[in-house]
């Protein structure tokens, strides 16, 4: 479980899905990521790649979870400040992610052409399987259509922008782990936007589901 992608919340709105459910999924994934991601890294790469697991835990706590909790506390207890921040916070966050990705692309520009084709194909399969697993899992759980759409986008989209920054911190600027994060950032945004655009043409059939948006 990785940090949730905020873009999935926006695209859920565009897809006429259940936005409240989408935000809940994003928040849960983000809060649990400091526990799950280091464990997955340990299981998948073990000692084959040198990195500091304690540093991974600290990075997720301070750079992923802490801002979420701080934002919630400010929003809840200091409404005057939160209202002033609403107009600029999303812009600042998006520009920060774009800056990280731009730096990563600049660092890896000489290697992107060599691996882009093969890696992009694998990432596309992962992305589409994520959408399929999200939607059909929701169907098996008999979730309303609006919640299925939210779950689909949440599972299929990954916070690759944050992943890029964390990969640089954990594995260094020359790590091959940065390239998939860069490619997935653009890929999942493209497929997610296309999927949300199609779903926007077909609203959930139930009035109750539409009220959940």
Q: Specify whether the CB–CB gap between 168 and 175 falls below 8 A.
A: yes
* Domain coordinates in residue numbering, the chain: 6-205
Helices 66-77 and 19-44 meet at what angle, rounded to 10?
160
Q: pLDDT, tens digit, for every residue of 62-102?
A: 877 888 888 888 888 888 777 777 667 666 766 766 676 67
The conformation of residue 133, written as its DSSP 8-state character, comes to H
For tokens 């997935």, the residue is 184
What pLDDT shows up at residue 116? 59
Q: pLDDT, tens digit, for every residue of 171-192?
A: 777 777 777 877 887 788 888 8
Q: pLDDT, tens digit, for every residue of 110-164?
A: 666 666 567 788 888 999 999 999 999 999 999 999 999 999 999 988 766 677 7
CA distance 13 to 22: 9
CA distance 191 to 128: 8
What pLDDT shows up at residue 136? 96
**Domain 6-205 adopts which CATH fold?**
Na+/H+ antiporter like fold (1.20.1530)
CA distance 11 to 125: 20
**Tokens in use for 156?**
């299929």
**Tokens in use for 135?**
């939607």
CA distance 42 to 33: 14
Q: Specify whether the CB–CB gap between 93 and 207 falls below 8 A.
A: no
């Amino acid at each position: 479980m990785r940090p949730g992608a905020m873009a999935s919340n926006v695209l859920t709105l565009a897809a006429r899905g259940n936005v409240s459910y989408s935000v809940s999924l994003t928040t849960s994934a983000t809060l649990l990521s400091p526990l799950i991601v280091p464990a997955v890294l340990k299981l998948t790469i073990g000692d084959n790649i040198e990195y500091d697991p304690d540093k991974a835990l600290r990075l997720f706590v301070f750079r992923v979870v802490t801002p979420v909790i701080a934002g919630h506390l400010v929003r809840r207890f200091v409404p005057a400040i939160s209202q002033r921040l609403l107009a600029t916070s999303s812009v600042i966050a998006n520009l920060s992610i774009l800056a990280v990705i731009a730096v990563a692309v600049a660092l890896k520009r000489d290697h992107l052409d060599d691996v882009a084709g093969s890696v992009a194909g694998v990432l596309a399969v992962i992305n589409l399987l994520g959408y399929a697993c999200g939607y059909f899992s929701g169907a098996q759980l008999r979730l309303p259509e609006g919640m299925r759409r939210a779950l689909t986008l949440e599972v299929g989209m990954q916070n690759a922008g944050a992943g890029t920054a964390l990969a640089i911190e954990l594995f260094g600027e020359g790590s091959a782990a940065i390239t998939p994060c860069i490619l997935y950032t653009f890929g999942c945004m493209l497929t997610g936007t296309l999927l949300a655009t199609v779903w926007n043409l077909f609203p959930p059939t139930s009035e109750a589901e539409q009220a959940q948006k």
